[in-house]
């Protein structure tokens, strides 16, 4: 408790660095592309005003529009000791630190959506600082398409030399059982604006695979034509199922009789029914049938508990019950047990490859009998899974472990 209290005290009591301004809510994100501050030019006219990028200050954030963007610290100095010197950025007034040599402040700038920073002396405008991205033939490699867009194969054409950030969110339209997709795409661009000068972010909605074409203009007034296209699923079924097959080793016991290191095929069924974006019903059935017979099935309510590392890591809870059938050998009586182990899953999204997930899950017994079920799963629609199950009650016990291949079965609703 003392350690926790100390951590909380440090988190909430320590002051922020002086004169470093954050002008929006954000969460720390993960870089997917490299950004060089040399590519972002600083324009000003007044000689008494100097502005430069702080070295190594680039930080990736997920902003209030859920876009992953880079920001960097812009240091601004004004050689004027007048106490009325102040800055204005994104509609907010910034009071700089005053000294004998002038005024100074550091301001975080969204590199993919930079606004003009105004420098005032009282009511008079001293200067305005404008950030512009230098066009680059390599910018296509720096166009940031967020992981949220990965399943939809977003393609951008017509602005290969401009910086852009895209984020996606899928919506469901229509009645339950026949819902269709509507993809919301949010876009930031450093240099490009709509023809009516509206500021980013810009929002596009895609309901099919047809491209969206729009005209934009750069700071010089040149008209550019952007084309954006995505590959959307034909439907959004809530029920998804898979089956799995694989070799397993097992040890079984009934009283003093023991079977060690036996080999058997396993058959698995998996089902998931989405209730909301963060809650679902999950079901499974695991069957091992050889000299011993073992069938383990369960139904669980799953909901997201927390996410971390820019939502790449997701933790969800599994609350429900299971049924167990066990027969040591042919001719023996089949034992049935209704048990209530509870569990969790930790999902690492886009692990090693886009759209591939690495999952670790476990059920633990909440009753008097022994039960452990743990699995590691990796894949996309098809997947590999290593699974270990250990169950014991009174004179019966079975341990099984092995590797299975999961394959999509059918989707409904």
Instruction: Report the alpha-carbon distance of residue 374 to residue 145 in Å, rounded.
Output: 35
The answer to the question of residue 12 being in a domain is no
43: Cβ–Cβ under 8 A, 6 or more apart, which residues? 129, 130, 131, 132
Contact indicator for 342, 369 with CB cutoff of 8 Å: no
Model pLDDT, residue 30:
61
Model pLDDT, residue 12:
36
Domain count, the chain: 3
Model pLDDT, residue 141:
59
Contact indicator for 155, 135 with CB cutoff of 8 Å: no
What percentage of the chain has pLDDT greater than the value 70? 90
Given pLDDT bands bounded at 50, 70 and 90, which one contains residue 328?
A: very high
386/249 same-domain check = yes
The answer to the question of residue 3 being in a domain is no
Q: For residue 22, is pLDDT > 60?
A: no
Model pLDDT, residue 184:
95
Mean predicted confidence (pLDDT) in 129-144: 73
Model pLDDT, residue 137:
56
Given pLDDT bands bounded at 50, 70 and 90, which one contains residue 3?
A: very low
pTM for this prediction = 0.79
127: Cβ–Cβ under 8 A, 6 or more apart, which residues? 44, 45, 46, 49, 118, 119
CA 106 to chain centre: 30
202/327 same-domain check = no
The answer to the question of residue 11 being in a domain is no
Domain end position, chosen among 93, 110, 133: 133
The secondary structure of residue 30, as a DSSP letter, is -
156/63 same-domain check = no
Q: Which residue has the higher pLDDT, 23 or 302?
A: 302
| pLDDT tens, residue by residue, 266-319 | 999 999 999 998 999 999 999 999 889 999 999 999 999 999 888 889 999 999
CATH at residue 324: 2.40.160
Contact indicator for 89, 3 with CB cutoff of 8 Å: no
Given pLDDT bands bounded at 50, 70 and 90, which one contains residue 199?
A: confident
| pLDDT tens, residue by residue, 353-383 | 999 999 999 999 998 899 999 999 999 999 9
| pLDDT tens, residue by residue, 202-216 | 999 999 999 999 999
Mean predicted confidence (pLDDT) in 223-241: 92
133: Cβ–Cβ under 8 A, 6 or more apart, which residues? 39, 40, 41, 111, 139, 162, 163, 190, 191
Instruction: Report the alpha-carbon distance of residue 268 to residue 242 in Å, rounded.
Output: 8
User: Across all residues in the chain, what is the average pLDDT?
Assistant: 87
Q: For residue 99, is pLDDT > 80?
A: yes
191/288 same-domain check = no
The answer to the question of residue 6 being in a domain is no
Mean predicted confidence (pLDDT) in 15-40: 60
129/144 same-domain check = no
**Closest C-alpha among 391, 361, 354, 355 to residue 376:** 361
143/223 same-domain check = yes
Q: Which residue has the higher pLDDT, 188 or 143?
A: 188
266/296 same-domain check = yes
| pLDDT tens, residue by residue, 384-408 | 999 999 999 999 999 999 999 999 9
Q: Is 176 helix (H, G, I), strand (E, B) or coil?
A: coil
| pLDDT tens, residue by residue, 297-310 | 999 999 999 998 88
Domain of 203?
Answer: 139-229
Please report, for residues 33, 259, 311, the alpha-carbon distance to residue 29 in angstroms, rounded to integers and kept in the order given: 12, 52, 9
């Amino acid at each position: 408790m003392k350690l926790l209290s100390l951590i909380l005290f440090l988190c909430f009591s320590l002051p922020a660095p002086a004169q470093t301004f954050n002008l929006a809510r954000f969460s720390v994100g993960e870089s997917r592309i490299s950004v060089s501050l040399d590519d972002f030019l600083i324009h000003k006219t007044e000689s008494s005003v100097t502005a430069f990028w702080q070295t190594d200050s680039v930080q990736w954030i997920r902003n209030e529009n859920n876009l992953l963007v880079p920001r960097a610290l812009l240091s601004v100095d004004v050689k004027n000791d007048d106490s009325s010197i102040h800055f204005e950025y994104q509609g907010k007034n910034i009071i700089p630190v005053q000294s004998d040599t002038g005024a100074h402040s550091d301001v975080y700038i969204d590199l993919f959506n930079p606004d003009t920073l105004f420098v005032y002396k009282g009511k008079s405008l001293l200067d305005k600082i404008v950030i512009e991205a230098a066009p680059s033939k390599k910018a296509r490699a720096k166009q940031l398409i967020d992981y949220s867009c990965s399943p939809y194969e977003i393609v951008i054409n017509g602005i290969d030399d401009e910086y852009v950030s895209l984020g996606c969110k899928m919506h469901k339209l229509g009645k339950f059982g026949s819902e269709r997709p509507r993809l919301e795409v949010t876009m930031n661009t450093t240099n490009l604006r709509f023809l009516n000068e509206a500021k980013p972010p810009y929002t596009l909605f895609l309901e099919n695979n047809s491209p969206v074409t729009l005209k934009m203009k750069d700071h010089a007034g040149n008209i550019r034509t952007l084309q954006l296209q995505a590959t959307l699923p034909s439907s959004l079924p809530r029920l998804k199922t898979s089956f799995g097959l694989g070799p397993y080793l097992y040890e079984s016991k009934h009283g003093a009789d023991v079977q060690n290191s036996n080999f058997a095929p396993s058959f698995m069924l998996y089902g998931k029914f989405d209730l909301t974006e963060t809650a679902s019903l999950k079901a499974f059935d695991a069957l091992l049938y050889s000299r011993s017979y073992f069938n383990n099935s369960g139904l669980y309510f799953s909901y997201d508990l927390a996410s971390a590392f820019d939502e790449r890591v997701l933790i969800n809870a599994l609350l429900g019950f299971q049924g167990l059938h066990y027969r040591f050998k042919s001719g023996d009586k089949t034992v049935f047990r209704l048990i209530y182990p509870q569990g969790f899953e930790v999902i690492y999204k886009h692990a090693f490859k886009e759209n591939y997930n690495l999952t670790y899950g476990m059920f633990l017994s909440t009753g008097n009998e022994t039960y452990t079920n743990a699995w590691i799963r990796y894949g996309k629609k098809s997947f590999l899974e290593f699974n270990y199950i250990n169950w014991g009650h009174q004179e019966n016990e079975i341990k099984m472990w092995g590797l299975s291949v999961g394959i999509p079965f059918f989707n409904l609703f």
